[in-house]
Every structure is written in C-alpha cells, then in structure tokens.
A and B are shown apart, each in its own frame.
Chain A
Amino acid sequence: MNSALKLSNLAVERGGKVLLSELNCDINPGEVIVVLGPNGAGKSSLLLALAGLIPATGAVELFGKPLAGFSRKKLSHKIAWQGALPPTEFGLTVEQRLELAASEDNEAIISIADAMDIKPLLTRPLGELSSGERQRTELAALMLRDTPIWLLDEPTAHLDLKHQIQCMHMLKEERDHGRTIITVLHDIQQAMAVADYLILIDGKGGAEYGTAEQLFASQRLSELFDAPVVTQGSVLVPDYGKRI
C-alpha cells in the first residue's frame, strides 16, 4: 500500500532558524498523527511545509509522488489545511466562508453547520464571532473539504469542553473512514485520546517520530516541554501543583 505521506530527511527553517531537521516517517491512510512540542518549536511550520505553503528541504512524497510536483490546485484536492483565520475586513459571512471551503452544495453546508452548532450563525459576518465560534466555523469549513489528508493546527483552540469532545470524536470518526490526519495539539490528554503516532519537536532542531505507545511516557514528555508531566492511573497529566 502506498503511504499517504512519506517524509525523508525533512528539514524546516524559518527566519534563519532551523526548526526541525531530518524528520523521517511513513504515514499511512487512516492514521492520526499528533504533533507535540513547546511554543515556537516549529509544529505549525511543519504543517505548513507539508501543505506546500512554505519551503522545506528533504523529500516529501504524497501518495508516492513528490509533493513539489503538484500544482496548487491539485494539492488542494489532496490536502486540507486548517489554521487560524486572519481578521477579515470585508464582511464575509459564516455561510460564505463555508461556501469557499470547497463545496457550494447548500445542503452539505447546512448539515455540517448544524453538526458544528453554527447554523444560527450562518448569516453573521466572521468579524462578529467569538474566538470559539470562529474556530467551529473553521472546523466546519474543514469538514467540507473531502481530501484524503487533513492538516490541523490546534483544532481545539478556543473551544469549550463540549466542542472539544465533539472535535475529538470527529477526528476519530474521520480516521475510521480512512482519512489521514496530522494535528498539532497542546493538550496531552486530547493527544492520548486520538493519536496513533506522535511527532515530537523539541524546538532545538530535533524531531522524533514513533507510535503513541512508544512516546507517551512521562519522562519523555517532561523533557520535551521542560515541565513536569506525571502518570495518574493510565493517563499522563501535567503536574499543576509543582512550581516551575
């Protein structure tokens, strides 16, 4: 079986700083890969590089073909990237935002808006939404993108608990339908809930790829974040009681 994404010696550099070097991995269809690491380590940059939105060195193969050989349009049929939407000044409404995602199928838009609890917001301009409502709109826009690979940059940011859980379920369901998902998360428990594999980026150029079983260890994550992570039963949690 062709891997969905194959990274060989991938290195990403931004503003003269090497964010990660020599990342190697084979990512198969229907896997969830969670990217973890401290702020500024290069997690978002990794997603941007995989989406072909910033340059990177090394080789990236998308379904067996070099990523660089894909035109912008063809790439957008294979990969959907979700990142924070910059402020828009032109009064675009939620419904129009969703229309731009990929589909002009009104029924699909309404049904996904309903699923993401944003149906009552459809006629509101994006600029009038709360951060959580904007995030839900962006997730709904992502769900309209029927691409085999999704790259998600902090999909649960700004979401309340209900919608965080809903988002996690959505990721698992999509994985079960064969979607390959690479997502940056900050919450270790959310990561544990969905990850098949992890990419750990340490912010010093180092990156490690492995199964969730291998890399979910309190010692490893404590080192990665330079912060205490402890085991409680079968889960890993940050030690909020400890001053650092």
Chain B
Amino acid sequence: MRWLILFIAVISSLLLGLAVGEQWINPFAPSHALEKTILWELRFPRLLTAFAVGGMLALAGAWFQVLLGNPLAEPYVLGVAGSASAGAVTGLMLMPESAWAMSVGAFAGAWIGIVTVMLFSRLGANRMLLAGVVLAAFWSAVLALLLALLPEQGLFRAFAWMMGDLSHSDIPVPVLLLAWATALICGLILSRSLDKLLLGERHAEALGVDVKQLRHRLLLLASAVTALAVTAAGTIGFVGLVIPHLMRLLFGSLHRAVLPASAIGGGLLLVLADSAARTIIAPAELPVGILTAIIGVPVFLFLLMRRSG
C-alpha cells in the first residue's frame, strides 16, 4: 500500500510539474504547438533531471549514513559539496563565457574532494568523518577565497549554482536516469551487507561481511553519485540528509526497502521543490535548495513527532 502511495505521488508530482510554471498548461491537452514544446522539450527533461538528481542524493545520503554509522551524515558531509563548488567557481573564473565551465569544474572539484577523503578511509568511520568535516571547512575557505576573487558579474551565477540550479543541467537526461538506475541496482546488490553494517563493523564481520571492501565500494559509489548530482544541479541540501530517515520511518530500516524508497522519495521531493521553485515568483525562479528544505522539514518533523507520539 505504501509503495502504491509513493508511486501515485510520483506520477502526480510529475503531472503537476508538467502543468505548473510561468503559465499553466494542461499536460493531457496542450492547446498549441508552443505549449507542446514547453511541456515535452523544456519541462519534461527538467523534471526527469530533478527526479534523478533527487533520487541520487537520497541514495548517497543513505549510504553515507550507514558507511559513517552516523544519522547526521549526508552526501556533502565529507566536503564533496565544498570541493565541487570550489571547482565550479574555478571553472567560471577560467572560462567565464563557457556554458560548460561550471559543470566541468564541479565534476573535477568533486573528484578531487573524493580522492582526498579516500586517503583517510582506512582510518575507520569516526576518523574519516572527522577528516571529512575538517576538509569541508578547508574547501569552504577555498570557496570563500575564490568568490572574493571572482569578478562581480560571475557572482550571481555562482550563488545560483551553489543553492541548486536545475535550469540548465549539462548532463543529458538519459545519462542521469541510467546513473540513477545503476546506483539503485548496485545499492540493492549490497543491501544485505549494508543491513549487517547497521549492527556495527564487528558484528557485520562476524556475519561474513568483508567490511573493509564494503566500505571502499560504498565510499566510491556514494561519492560518484554525489559528484554526478552536484555536477548536474549544483549543491542541493536537505534531500540526502532527511529522505533516507523519512523512508526508514515509513518503510523500516532494511535497505532492500530503504534504498528504492529513497531513490524514489528523493526524486519526488526534488520534482515538487523544482516545480514550486519555477512557479512561485514566475517568470523568475527561486533556488531549488531553499524549497527542498521548506517543503521537507515540516513533513519530516511531523512524521517524527507522530512516530514518537
């Protein structure tokens, strides 16, 4: 039943997302060719991008939470958002006229951040988290420095990207959807080992999990997915932190349910948030990251209170 509700919610949100925007369009009966073009060439690819990015962020969040044994972990906890942002701004500084500069810079920056964190992965979950938090502070400082040096005309573009921007993703939609599906399948393959890791590393090992190998795979997978999501849409907070918890409240703690639910739920939240972002002050747009928090926080707190009660 819960899966059916989630599925219906996704379909409804996609239809709503097609309909709303600067002008209302009935997705079942566009009145002329321009409306058809807006629906299927502008809104639909953007909605699919939002769905894939939101789903990947939620998956990465679920993985980082288990990998680090910390419910406060999220995709950006190890500084990947900071390094990707620093990369994006560097790209903007070096090639201000290029449409691809920020994406290429973000992708390179994300991977520089990931490789740096991986050097600390053998230290165990707690120390890796500590190293990640310190690296995040370092990348924030680098980012602040770059922003201070960035010419004024680039600042707006940089800030829009840093708060999440789905208006012009440079990664083709089929690539994002394929990445979403691949990530989910990889996650499902690892799901039983992930469940065992919930019992702590020693218990997981005693139950036959090669924890060291699992941690490496998980770190690589979660980081790759985060890098792709950040490159496609900038840094969008909240989805990766809260969606996995929300899905655990609704679907239980086992990953064979949590991962698909998060992949779908994260997508749903970002589709709704992006639809609101391009409608509320249309024709202008709000940064989608603000709306993910505004929509998601009350929902999450409500469910948390209800569950505790």
A-to-B contact residues, CB < 8 Å: 48, 51, 53, 71-73, 75-77, 79-81, 83, 85-86, 88-93, 96-97, 99-102
Contacts and interface: CB of A to CB of B under 8 A. Distances in A.
Contact of B199 (A51, A88, A102): A88
B200 A96 contact: no
B66 interface: yes
Contacts of A71: 210
A72 B253 contact: no
A79 to B, nearest CB: 8
Nearest to A86: B200
Q: How many B residues touch the partner, as a band?
A: 20 to 34
Contact of A93 (B205, B249, B252): B252
A88 B195 CA distance: 11
Contacts of A91: 248-249, 252-253
B200 A85 contact: yes
Given A85-B199, A86-B203, A92-B253, 5 more contacts: A76-B206, A83-B203, A83-B206, A96-B254, A99-B254
B203 A72 contact: no
Nearest to A71: B210
Contact of A76 (B66, B198, B200, B208): B208
Contacts of B208: 72-73, 75-77
Most chain B CB inside 10 Å of its own CB: which residue of A48, A77, A81, A90:
A90
A93 B202 contact: no
A93 B199 CA distance: 11
Given A53-B202, A96-B252, A100-B199, A89 B207 contact: no
B199 A97 contact: yes
Nearest to A72: B210
Given A86-B200, A88-B199, A96-B253, A72 B209 contact: yes
B46 interface: no
Nearest to B258: A90
8 closest A-B pairs by CB? A76-B208, A86-B200, A73-B208, A81-B206, A92-B253, A89-B71, A72-B210, A91-B253
Nearest to A81: B206
Contacts of A100: 192, 195-196, 198-199, 207
Contacts of B195: 92, 96, 100
Contacts of A89: 69-71
Contacts of A86: 199-200, 203
10 contacts: A53-B206, A76-B206, A77-B208, A85-B199, A85-B200, A90-B66, A96-B195, A96-B253, A100-B192, A100-B198
Majority SS at the chain A contact face: mixed
A50 to B, nearest CB: 11
B236 to A, nearest CB: 23
A90 B198 CA distance: 7
Contacts of B292: none
Contacts of B248: 90-91
A9 B210 CA distance: 27
A90 B200 contact: no
Contacts of B70: 89
Interface string B69-101: 111000000000000000000000000000000
Contact of B65 (A76, A83, A90): A90
A88 B207 CA distance: 16
A53 B210 CA distance: 11
B253 A93 contact: yes
A93 B251 CA distance: 12
A209 B195 CA distance: 38
A211 B65 CA distance: 48
A76 B207 contact: yes
Contacts of A76: 206-208
A44 to B, nearest CB: 11
A233 B252 CA distance: 54
Contacts of B66: 90
Interface string B238-277: 0000000000110011100000000000000000000000
Nearest to B209: A72
A77 B207 CA distance: 8
Interface string B42-69: 0000000000000000000000011001
Contacts of A96: 195, 252-254
Contacts of A77: 208
Nearest to A88: B198
Nearest to A83: B202
Given A85-B199, A100-B199, A90 B253 contact: yes
A48 B203 CA distance: 11
A102 B208 CA distance: 10
A62 B48 CA distance: 54
B157 to A, nearest CB: 39
A76 B209 CA distance: 9
A189 to B, nearest CB: 29
